[in-house]
Structure 1
């Protein structure tokens, strides 16, 4: 299993839809990645410097996140990029960033 730090632009017009699906835990049933995807997106952060969503996710696919992209990510995000990291490293690197799900400071 590999871990990735993921960066992408959340489609603003679909942000509330994604938030609601996460709230209802709709992705949990997606096999084999639903639990990991749900956990990762619930903990997603917003990088104020770039406006991007950023999170750590575990994955088994080649290319990375292929199944997740086809099922969920490509609907809600643009310009998705991944960087391989050690487990937990991605979360440590983004822990100081605000939650993706909190409104940005104005």
Structure 2
């Protein structure tokens, strides 16, 4: 499996819609990447120093996030793969101390 360490600037006005799509399973149904994307974005963190969302994404595309990018760019600007091959647990551990994206960016909930 390949994991990517991702940073992106949330489009705050679009976050309520994204949260709804994550919660209702709409994104999870997208094949082949929906379930992995749902897990990653549900667990995404917020970096207060940069104002960016950060997460680890399971991804098998070349270039990285080729299929996911269309969805991600609806809700985020400047989607950047910071590291193409990161150990999943180590990637999440790097951002474990950051607040949840959903605690810091309005989700409409």
TM-score normalised over the length of structure 2: 0.89
Greater displacement, 29-38 / 86-95? 86-95
Unaligned runs of 5+ in 1: none
User: How far apart are the structure 1 equivalents of 2:19 and 2:49?
Assistant: 22
Unaligned runs of 5+ in 2: none
User: How far apart are the structure 1 equivalents of 2:62 and 2:89?
Assistant: 21
Q: CA RMSD in A?
A: 1.1
The alignment partner of 2:100 has SS state of coil
User: How far apart are the structure 2 equivalents of 1:69 and 1:103?
Assistant: 23
The aligned counterpart of 2:95 is 94
TM-score normalised over the length of structure 1: 0.92
The reply on whether 1:76 has 2:75 as its aligned counterpart is yes
Cα deviation, 1:39-74, whole Å, max 9, x if unaligned, reads 00000000011010000011000110110112x101
The aligned counterpart of 1:11 is 11
